[in-house]
Amino acid sequence: MLDIKEIRKDPKAIEQKLKTKSPDVHLHHIMALDERIRGLKADVEELKSKRNASSKEIGLKKQRGENVSSFMEDMGVLSEKITVRDHEIAQIEQELHFALACLPNLPMDDIPVFPGPEDNVCVKEWGEKRSFSFPFKNHVELNEKLKLFDFARGAKISGSGWPLYTNMGARLEWALINFMLDIHRKNGFTQIMPPLLVRPETMFGSAHLPKFESQLFKIKDEDYQLYFIPTSESPLNGLHAGEILDEHQLPLKYTAYTPCFRREAGAAGSQERGLIRTHQFNKVELFCLCKPEDSPNIYQQMLDSAEEVLQGLGLHYRNMLLTTGDMSFAAAKTIDIEVWLPGQNRYYEVSSVSNCTDFQARRSETRYRSKQDKPHFIHTLNGSGLATSRLMVALLENNQQEDGSVLVPKILHRYLGEEITKLTPSK
């Protein structure tokens, strides 16, 4: 959430910058609400001053034995006016809070200003695209013989978009998850196992509410109002909600594996089949809380840790700095890590590493105190480290052999058993 005090300083400049992310943003309503609140608060202060003066005068009159009934009536009128104004202020403040909650985060000054992903900037490439001397297959075609997933039975159980992993598919998925967690723990991230359902205020804190309400799965009945997490960023951001941390505790670096749940499962078509985009997928998340001056360094650490996974697996990837128009709602800066998927003939994102500055911290009231100074809002950063579904696709498609088998990267052998060096078609 943005600071109304900062908006107040130069609303035109703030609006112009916000429009680079969301062209429909306007601040005139917010500024009108803010002005109305300040006007009402000034009225209340004046009324309270009058009431205090009247109270003193009534006290003096009582000491002199004078009749104060008319003054008491005036005091009652003043108190009633104050109550009415306070109620009006509370209502308008709630409206202002909601309006501010709908504003995206401000992009950093060095982010390319363009409306969409076609102008994202490649800032790094690693490895090379696999070249094939035979007609290669996509992961759905490979799976016809490998039997790693059963999309039909997954759909029978839950509907389309809910994958079912079987046998070596399930084992390879767990191998990937454990491999990634090992890397991130080695790099100083503390492993967390958070709940998969969270309260509305937790979703609000991570900025998934109110804007993305329609994209979330939820439980809403007489006993519970909970949301299935779209990413473990949500509960990790909520870990220290409402707390004032000591600066010596920072930075806090977390990693977590969770299933993730999202309503939007992509458009129909050959490029979105199989594991490319689903309602449920597995992801290892990176999440950090730090002092503002440390966030650039922490950002690079997160990016390096995510890249280490892909380098260990020997997969070609590129890092794309997102334009203002392609960044997420809460991000001030994002680099997407994209792997090459031969079967789709394009790059697909397996990680987004974002610096959210103090945007989420304001929503979740997460602050830190430096020595005897007043509390300051913390910076939060998040990144996938990585999402496994597209990573699985990349492994299968890039490591396929002419006979339909798939070589397993050497670094995963110890997670599967040293004898499993490749996946072979079922007879």
Q: Is 64 a catalytic residue?
A: no
CB 22 within 8 A of CB 2: no
Helices (H) and strands (E) in the chain, counts: 13, 16
Distance CA 14, CA 421 (A): 55
SS3 294: helix
Catalytic residue among 206, 232, 234, 352: 352
Instruction: Assign 3-state DSSP to the chain and report helix, strand, coil percentages, each to 5.
Output: 45, 20, 35
Residue 238 contacts residue 206 (beta carbons within 8 Å): yes
Q: Which one from 171, 206, 233, 277 is the annotated catalytic residue?
A: 277
Q: Are 397 and 142 in contact (CB under 8 A)?
A: yes
Q: Catalytic residue among 15, 141, 349, 365, which?
A: 349
211 phi/psi in degrees, rounded to 5: -60, -40
Interatomic CA distance for residues 341 and 309, integer angstroms: 16
Q: Does the annotation count 273 as an active-site position?
A: no
C-beta separation of 99 from 33 below 8 A: yes
Query: How far is residue 20's CA from residue 30's CA, in Å, rounded to a whole number?
Result: 18
Is 369 annotated as catalytic? no
As a whole number of angstroms, the distance between CA 172 and CA 409 comes to 11
d(CA 147, CA 167): 8
Euclidean distance between CA atoms 420 and 400, whole angstroms: 15
Q: What are 103's two structure tokens? A: 């504003």
Torsion angles phi and psi, residue 39, rounded to 5: -65, -45
Catalytic residue among 171, 362, 367, 390: 390
**Is residue 262 among the annotated active site residues?**
yes
Active site annotation includes 390: yes
Catalytic residue among 173, 233, 262, 362: 262
Reduced to 3 states, what is the DSSP secondary structure of residue 355? strand
Residues involved in catalysis:
262, 277, 349, 352, 390
